[in-house]
Amino acid sequence: MSARYEELKSLKNLGQKYAYTDREVMLYAYGIGLGADPMDESELAFVNEGTLTPRPLKVVPTFASVAAWGSGPGEMNLNRVMVVDGERDITFHQPLPTAAHITADSSVLEVYDKGKDKGVVISHQTVLKNEKGEKLATLVASRFARGDGGFGGPNLIQPDAHQIPSRAPDKSIDITTRPDQALVYRLCGDRNPLHSDPEFARKAGFPRPILHGMCTYGITCRGVLQTYADYDPAAFRQHIARFSSPVYPGEIVTMDLWKDGNVISFEAKVKSRGVTVIKNGKTVLG
């Protein structure tokens, strides 16, 4: 077995400590677009705690993706300019509290070496736990390092993606993003200038800053919340999506959804450019 494969596979970082408050919870919800209509009580429950008539603040399930921002299994020494997000898969063990001290245990699950000049896919997980040591959420991320690979790792095949039903969608909804949405979402943790600096975006090959892929991921969670989950975060058991193309802030994201029992399949596209931005999406409700 190659030394580089063993180096990546052995990465592990346990007991990383983080904390968040209701401020971060509301900022994330606003960052993925909830609360755009300041009179929509269903969405206000995620961005406003209520005053004259108190009501509990709700936490968007995919807030788990930023609750321990910066956690990870360790330095992978990759060509970062060539690294892109491939997939996110979050399993929810219990609803997230509105404020908490948490720990994050991160480790590499597998390394898929596609060969020289073909890149490598690294799958790693982070388990979030509360102060009692109980699991809150398990996050599995796949990153595609296009500038690496060919170091002699085992010839492994990635698991098949979730298949979308062949019938017409059961629902289709349009979600409008704001022109300044990336500038808000970046305050949740991801300060990558690709999403905020026009000059940097142009050098990276884009005409203007793009929306964070994880913001689009959160938008798809929002889409399931408003269609099949009755805005109930506790209904979510799992939320998976593969990233296929970026969204530009201000564009309209169209979500197609299929319901089969407690499984919601989805894809998302930007019709104005004829591109699919999220593929092979699956939410499990329960």
Give pLDDT tens digits for 40-64.
999 999 999 888 988 899 999 999 9
Indicate if the pLDDT at residue 278 is higher than 70: yes
What local confidence, expressed as pLDDT, does residue 153 receive?
A: 80
Q: What's the CA gap between 172 and 277, in Å, rounded?
A: 15
Contact partners, residue 144, CB within 8 Å, separation at least 6:
83, 84, 85, 86, 119, 120, 121
Contact call for residues 217 and 278 (beta carbons, < 8 A): yes
Of the candidates 269, 128, 86, 262, which has an alpha carbon nearest to the alpha carbon of residue 282?
262
Q: How many residues does the chain have?
A: 286
Three-class SS state of 205: coil
Contact call for residues 245 and 275 (beta carbons, < 8 A): yes
Indicate if the pLDDT at residue 31 is higher than 70: yes
Q: What's the CA gap between 158 and 150, in Å, rounded?
A: 16
| DSSP result, 126-176 | EEEE-TTS-EEEEEEEEEEETT---S------PPPPPPPPSSPPSEEEEEE
* Half-sphere exposure in the Cβ direction for 138 (13 Å, CA): 11
What local confidence, expressed as pLDDT, does residue 167 receive?
A: 98
Contact partners, residue 282, CB within 8 Å, separation at least 6:
162, 238, 239, 240, 241, 263, 264, 265, 266
Indicate if the pLDDT at residue 1 is higher than 70: no
Choice among 105, 113, 195, 212 that is catalytic:
195
Q: What's the CA gap between 41 and 105, in Å, rounded?
A: 36
Contact call for residues 60 and 31 (beta carbons, < 8 A): no
Average pLDDT of 127-140? 98
Indicate if the pLDDT at residue 135 is higher than 70: yes
pLDDT in tens, 190-242: 999 999 999 999 998 899 999 999 999 999 999 999 999 999 999 999 999 99
pLDDT in tens, 155-187: 788 889 999 999 999 999 999 999 999 999 999
Q: What strands, in cross-sheet order, belong to the sheet with 12-20?
A: 12-20, 100-113, 120-129, 135-145, 83-92, 236-243, 275-285, 263-270, 252-260, 171-176
| DSSP result, 80-99 | GGGEEEEEEEEEESSPPPSS
Share of the chain above pLDDT 70, in %: 100
| 195 tagged catalytic | yes
Q: What's the CA gap between 65 and 239, in Å, rounded?
A: 11
Choice among 105, 148, 190, 256 that is catalytic:
190
Tell me how crowded residue 17 is: count the other CB atoms within 10 A of its CB.
10
Share of the chain above pLDDT 90, in %: 85
Contact partners, residue 88, CB within 8 Å, separation at least 6:
65, 139, 140, 141, 142, 214, 217, 239, 240, 241
Indicate if the pLDDT at residue 94 is higher than 70: yes
Contact call for residues 247 and 211 (beta carbons, < 8 A): yes
Domains 1-159 and 171-285 share a fold: yes
When comparing pLDDT for 117 and 254, which is higher? 254
Of the candidates 69, 71, 66, 67, which has an alpha carbon nearest to the alpha carbon of residue 20?
67
Indicate if the pLDDT at residue 80 is higher than 80: no
Tell whether domain 171-285 is in CATH 3.40.50.1100: no
Options 3.30.460.10, 3.10.129.10, 3.40.50.1100, 3.40.190.10; CATH for 1-159 is 3.10.129.10
Of the candidates 98, 87, 102, which has an alpha carbon nearest to the alpha carbon of residue 63?
98
| 190 tagged catalytic | yes
Indicate if the pLDDT at residue 268 is higher than 90: yes
Q: What's the CA gap between 256 and 171, in Å, rounded?
A: 6
What local confidence, expressed as pLDDT, does residue 152 receive?
A: 82
Domain ranges, ordered by start, for the chain: 1-159, 171-285
Q: Which pair of tokens denotes residue 98?
A: 């509105």
Indicate the pTM of the whole model.
Answer: 0.95
Choice among 125-129, 142-146, 196-200, 233-237 with the minimum mean pLDDT:
142-146
